[in-house]
Amino acid sequence: MASVLRHSAKFTSGISSSLAACARNGTACAFPCHAFRHRNSSTSSKIRVDLDSSTGVAVMTLQGPPVNSMCMDFLTDFAISMEKLELDKNCRGLILTSAVPKVFSAGLDIMEMYGKGPEHATVFWRAVQEMWFKLYSSNMVTIAAVNGSSPAGGCLLALSSDYRIMADNPRYVIGLNEAQVGIVAPFWLKDNMVQTLGHRQTEKSLQLAQLYSAPDALKIGLVDKLVPEEKVLSTATETMAKWFSIPDHSRQITKSMMRKQTIDKFLSNRETDINNFANFVTKDSIQKSLGTYLAKLKKKKA
């Protein structure tokens, strides 16, 4: 029987779920083992990871309501989960998806960029860079199962994966809309988009801060496939089997060859990029734009 290992560093419902996990895995433990090891963060988890060691596929589920925005906790959970999976010999592939209805991820948490000083901006941006770098340079086959809207940082997760499957729902949007927010996509994310869409389409998309409906995203190649919403995850699993049919070593070397230039450029410029971000985002004019954008988001509801 396929034994599904609950692989996450953190669990959402604390001791009781950890006891349940022990029971499911058939492990006898006098203590609730996961809660004992990781109890510090058991209630703040934004991400769940389930690794099926019989298939080698891990599913990373984003579960930070209301919109899976990428706050520091989210970014930290993401980095830890990626590191663990990368080191796990049982894991060959990763599927990213969301447990939040209608939203894959709303991107960076604007509250982490609004009203904060340069020190916070520095730490935050390093964590954002790390998220992209870990996913973009992963040895695993990475598939984004985009089951909801995916603006900005949400699109970053999809773009840095090897393959993108999106729910066929015209109300769901995806794209890099940073310019609309009053900020600018970093060069490494721009490079990542150029590789996917080509220079001309990227230039239009970024300057116009375009969010594409799922059908339009398919047309320009921002996603690879549309399927009915209930089939997004199963299609991702089927697609993974195809990618697994290629020997890991040759696929990995090919991937790293294709991504090397972008990675090298990022690594040589990452500190400059952090300083640029901290200077840029703390400017009065940028803070004003962020404040206006936030107010618009809140007003939408009223």
Ligand X SMILES: CC/C=C\CCC/C=C/C(=O)SCCNC(=O)CCNC(=O)[C@H](O)C(C)(C)COP(=O)(O)OP(=O)(O)OC[C@H]1O[C@@H](n2cnc3c(N)ncnc32)[C@H](O)[C@@H]1OP(=O)(O)O
Least spacing, CB of residue 189 vs ligand X, in Å = 6
CA pair distance 98, 123, nearest whole angstrom: 25
CA pair distance 37, 9, nearest whole angstrom: 9
Task: Indicate whether 299 belongs to the interface with ligand X (CB under 6 A).
Answer: no
Footprint on residues 159-188 left by ligand X (CB under 6 A)? 177-178, 181, 183-186
CA pair distance 128, 122, nearest whole angstrom: 10
| Choices 39-47, 147-155, 194-202, 242-250; region in contact with ligand X by CB under 6 A | 147-155
| Choices 42-50, 61-69, 116-124, 194-202; region in contact with ligand X by CB under 6 A | 61-69
Task: Indicate whether 197 belongs to the interface with ligand X (CB under 6 A).
Answer: no
The backbone torsions φ and ψ at residue 295, rounded to the nearest 5 degrees and listed phi first, read -60, -35
By C-alpha distance, which of 206, 208, 162 is closest to 187?
A: 206
Q: Which one of 13, 44, 111, 288 is in contact with ligand X (CB under 6 A)?
A: 111
Identity of the residue, 260 or 283, whose beta carbon is nearer to ligand X in the bound complex: 283
* Catalytic annotation, pick one of 107, 147, 178, 222: 178
| Dihedral sign, Cα of residue 68, residue 73, residue 75, residue 79 | negative
- The radius of gyration of the chain's CA atoms, rounded to the nearest angstrom, is 19
* Catalytic annotation, pick one of 75, 177, 189, 222: 177
CA pair distance 242, 214, nearest whole angstrom: 23
Q: What is the three-class DSSP state of 162?
A: coil
- Record the tokens describing residue 104, joined without a space: 């894959």
Task: Indicate whether 109 belongs to the interface with ligand X (CB under 6 A).
Answer: yes
* Catalytic annotation, pick one of 64, 107, 148, 153: 153
Which residues make up the interface to ligand X (CB under 6 A)?
Answer: 66-67, 69, 102-103, 106-111, 149, 151-153, 177-178, 181, 183-186, 277, 280-281, 297-298, 300-301
